[in-house]
Each structure stands twice: as structure tokens, then as C-alpha cells.
Amino acid sequence: MKKIAIITAAMLLSAAAWAQTAPKQQPEPPGPVPIPAAPQLPYHFDTQITGANGEQFGNVSAVALRPNGNLLVFNRNPAIMMVEYDPTGTKQLRVFNPIIAMNPHALRVDPHGNIWVSDSFLNVIFKLNPNGDVIRMFGVRGENAAWDDTKWNGMFNQPLDIAFDKDDNFYVVQSHGGTSPPADCTFCATYDIPQVRNSKPRGVFVHPPAIPGGDPRVMKFDKDGKFLASASLAHADGLLPVIHSVVVAPNGDIWVGDRASTKIVVYDKDLKPKSEIQVGNLTCGFYKDATGQLWMSTGRHGMVLKMGWDGKVQGWFGKHGDVRDSHDVGEGHYMAVSKDQKMIFMSDSVLAKVHRIVHN
């Protein structure tokens, strides 16, 4: 019995040491939210979307629009994880794919109407047909491994967002800095990091081979999932960045959001670096609308930005706040814009709702 106690104590000390020695996430910049030097956009907050089937959303990770304009919502309540609404977001059409992910993150619709989602905890990306049936899985569920520059090991490490080019190649960005754990006991496993330990979760701590979020990177794959290229976004200071969003520009360049650095890193189609654009606001979620217009949600800065492909802000709307039953934006995680630009949907991953923002 004494031997068992000694072994258990050693394991606990080892786990605690693992958590304390893990690299730290890059912090977001302190201070008041910077307001862009651009006009406020002529929009207003309308009624919010807060749940489905009589249940409240969990934190809402992402929103997307189907080719017919219907709104898709991806949230962290396992029972209503994926919900489809009409184009106004006011009529619920269906709830589907409950518990498809342990920690929902990305939600994108490709040019063929297929739906793509990522699970940033179990390190996989699912490709669904337009009906919502899973037709492919990329990555190895629940596993990661150290990066090997000579070949892709078939695994992701916190995949966060997906984008597509005109040739149906797809791009994936990864690394949430080792943070963003699943809700306690969604599947009773979680990250072993100080902020989670301090909350005294019921789930068990996981210790994967590679530090979660320890390999910030953008990757390119062909339409069949064959690995083509990658580029590291590791920081020289060793802090783990949150590489939160990716979008393909009209000229074929790949734009990547390094969130806490408030910058966009631009690559060519082969992921060779070209330039960096300092935005000044958190680069949280890109959206390219049907006209080719670029938009961006700004996370805890609480705004949507209308942007040019020169990286300049053309207009802004929204405000950060922490009051749930208000139009405060806790964290504008990702966004979508209707074809006529009259309706903006923004997912709030802190206040657990979808903001409906309507043109005046």
C-alpha cells in the first residue's frame, strides 16, 4: 500500500512539473481597446440567437453560411452542437451532429457546399457533405506528435481554422497556445495547465507527446488531403502564439492571423513569407464575403472590421463587454456576412450567443 502511495505521489509531482514547465501562451495586449482610425459602420445590433430546442448554447465557437444563405452555428453544448437557421437567423431549421467534437472550433463551408469543422482538443478536422454527414476525417483523433520537417506525421496540434483556394487545396492553421480546454467533463479529459488545475476540474489531465499548441503553423493540403507545404509561426521568445484564422486573398496569397500580436502574416500560395501587416486589433476571425470583401472579428476587442486587401481598416462596429443580457461582445470569435452585406453574424465564445448585426 505504501509503495502504491509513493508511485501515485510521484505521478502527481511529475504531472504538476509537466504543467509548470510547459511553454506559456503569449498574452493579449493590455489596456483599453484600440478604436480604428476609420468610420463606424452603419449597422445596429438586433435580437440575439442564444440556443435551440429549448437549450442554451454553450460558448459559440463559429458561424458560417451555406450557399443558400442559411446560417450554421457551431457551439459547445454537446446536445445542440450544430444548428441550422434560415438566412435571417430567426427560424431554427434543424439540430444535427450532437457531440461531433470535444472542443468545437472552426466551421467553414467550401465552394462546393461541404461543411468543415475542427476539434481543437482531439486534433481532428471533419469534412461533411452539405447534408451534414461526415465523409472524411483528417488528423489522428486524440493524438499529436512532435513536428518533423521531412514529412507530415499525419497529426494536427490544436487545429483552429481552415480556408480553401480556387483549386480546392485547403489550408489549416494550428496552435491555441496550449489553452482553450473543453468544458469540464465534456468527455472528462482536459489540458494540464495552471489555470485549469486552479479550477479543480473533474476530468483527468492529459499529457500528450507534444505540448498542446506547441507547434504554431500554417499547412497546405491538396483536395484529397495530401500534405503539400507548411510554414512555422513560432515566436523567437518561446511564448506560444494563438494562430487563429486563415483566409485566401483574391490574388492567391494566404493571410494568417497571429491574434495576440494583432498582426496578419502574408504568404504566397506555396507558403513562402511575403509580408506582415500590423492591424492594431486582435486578428481573431477572417471572413471573405460573396463579393470578395474582407472582414475580421477582433476577439475580446469586441468589434467587426471591414477591411481592404491592403490590410487597411475601412470601418468598424461593436463594443467589448461582459454583460450577457446586453449587446456586449465578450469575444467575437468568428463571423459571417450575408451576400448583400445587410446582415452580419458574430459568434461569441465568452457570452455564449450569436450576435445579429443588421444594416441601418
For residue 307, pLDDT beyond 50: yes
> DSSP string spanning 65-128?
E-TT--EEEEES-GGGSEEEE-TTS-SEEEEE-TTS-SSEEEEEE-TTS-EEEEETTTTEEEEE
What is the pTM (predicted TM-score) of this model?
0.92
**Domain segments of the chain as ranges:** 2-26+54-359
For residue 163, pLDDT beyond 50: yes
Question: What pLDDT, on a 0 to 100 scale, did the predictor assign at position 58?
Answer: 96
CA-based nearest residue to 225, from 134, 113, 138, 123: 138
pLDDT band of residue 172 (cuts 50, 70, 90) is: very high
Query: Which CATH topology does 2-26+54-359 take?
Result: Neuraminidase (2.120.10)
Question: What's the gap between Cα 292 and its chain centre?
Answer: 21
Model confidence pLDDT, tens digit, residues 263-284: 999 999 999 999 999 999 999 9
* Locus of grid cell 505521489: 9
> DSSP string spanning 23-59?
PPBPPPP-SSPPPPSSPBPSEEE---B-EETTEE--S
Q: Given CA atoms 321, 325, 331, 335 in this order, what sign does their dihedral have? A: negative
* Locus of grid cell 507527446: 209
| Grid cell listed for 291 | 463579393
- The secondary structure element, H or E, covering residue 12 is helix 2-21
Nearest-angstrom CA–CA distance, 216 and 21: 18
Contact 36, 301 (CB under 8 A): no
For residue 196, pLDDT beyond 90: no
